[in-house]
Amino acid sequence: MGPLSDIRVVELGQLIAGPFCAQLFGDMGATVVKIEPPGTGDPMRQWGAGDPPVWWEVIARNKRSVAADLRTAEGQEIARRLIAGADVLIENFRPGTLEKWNLAPADLCAANPRLIVVRVSGYGQTGPYATRAGFGGIGEAMGGWRALVGSPDRPPSRLGVSIGDSLAGTYGCLGALAALHERHTSGKGQIVDVSLFESVLQVMEGLVPEYAATGHVRTRSGSVLKGIAPSNVYPCRDGELLIAANQDAIFRRLATAMGRPELANDPRYATHVARGQHQDALDAMIADWSSRYDVAELEALMAQHAVPAGRMFAPRDMLEDAHFRAREALVEVETERHGVLPMQGVFPRLSRTPGGIARAAPAEVGKDGAALLAAAGYDADAIERFRARGVI
């Protein structure tokens, strides 16, 4: 099922960036074999709310679990056999770790010349910082994200999700797909080098060139972007509503909805630049008006006038919302440990060969190991010896 149903992926990653990259492959139909340490498995099995934690059910869906101790010669040989038949290998260890485990990508590619190796790390495989330990939050800081999040009178904030890791996983998947496409021409695999900090840097818009060309330094600005108005979260009688009317024609429609059509011709608000210069006064005016409405009333009024607006959705809102249901943005999955569980659906959507969730996350570490090792050529006695010695 899915456009990548002919692709086989081996995941050596743990925590978020590598496993999220592999989740994207699995969602689009690839066969994903996850190699995790015997016993405890991927630390993601213990992360998040719930007992047992629920996050695992999302990031490990569509995967098969093999337990193998990569610090042993037998575990390394198991990995090599599985990788020999793979199209893509995903890992997110500190640079040099695979080499230490006798799994150097150069050797793996020599044995399997069509192999594409996605290497996700904090700082990349080269450069003076390459061997440093790195987490997503460090990449967010170095890539420029953290300095811009929060209020200007407080220290930098975090987004609330591990955006640096997820971006790195997404770019790892993008790079691997590009390499798979190129392989049709050359017949050869290659290395995809993804760093956390550069993944964040890619989405930082004009941050660096603005500084280089003008000396302008973006700073934390709370709920607004300086000079972009009106675009803010405005108070209502029973909550808040985000209204984004910073384009001239849309602002004209907002002014009409407010019963103040003259504002669209007022020199202080008639143009994008003028509204940015008078942002505080404009926001105060809109907040005074919006506070007279309930959220639902104001949202309906904005829809009536074709002004972009949206509520602050919490999980309950998402589960109850008609548009979420119509889009199948959330789907129900039968899991081994939690029964039927709603979670985000496969995205993006393909019209002819959509992906899907064909397998629930493996509850047991190494659940699929015996079958996959047998398919890789190990007999039952060898598998039992590995199990007895703690290799699997």
**Could you report the per-residue pLDDT of 361-376, keeping only the tens digit for each?**
999 999 999 999 999 9
* 113 occurs within a structural domain: yes
* 220 occurs within a structural domain: no
Could you give the CA distance from residue 346 to residue 243 in angstroms, rounded to a whole number? 28
Q: Mean of the pLDDT values across residues 325-342?
A: 96
Q: Are both 131 and 169 inside the same structural domain?
A: yes
* DSSP assignment string, 89-127: EEE-SPTTHHHHTT--HHHHHHHSTT-EEEEEESS-SSS
What percentage of the chain has pLDDT greater than the value 70?
100
At 33 the pLDDT is 98
Q: Are both 334 and 249 inside the same structural domain?
A: no
Q: Are both 264 and 198 inside the same structural domain?
A: no
Q: Are both 330 and 237 inside the same structural domain?
A: no
Q: Mean of the pLDDT values across residues 314-321?
A: 96
Q: Are both 149 and 236 inside the same structural domain?
A: no
At 37 the pLDDT is 96
- Rounded to two decimals, what is the model's pTM? 0.94
Q: Are both 265 and 342 inside the same structural domain?
A: no
Range(s) of the domain holding residue 342: 8-203+326-388
Q: Are both 166 and 278 inside the same structural domain?
A: no
Could you give the CA distance from residue 176 to residue 193 in angstroms, rounded to a whole number? 10
136, 106 Cβ separation under 8 angstroms? no
* 68 occurs within a structural domain: yes
Which has the higher per-residue pLDDT, 294 or 135? 294
**The total number of structural domains that make up the chain:** 2
165, 193, 283, 368: which one is catalytic?
165
DSSP structure class, residue 343 = E
Does 13 have pLDDT greater than 90?
no
Domain final residue pick, 314, 345, 370: 314
CATH number, residue 358: 3.40.50.10540
Catalytic site includes residue 379: no
CA-only gyration radius of the chain, Å: 25
Tens-digit pLDDT profile for residues 251-275? 999 999 999 999 999 999 999 999 9
Strand order in the sheet with 231-236: 231-236, 239-244, 309-311
Helix (H) or strand (E) holding 81: helix 73-84
* 277 occurs within a structural domain: yes
At 1 the pLDDT is 81
* 117 occurs within a structural domain: yes
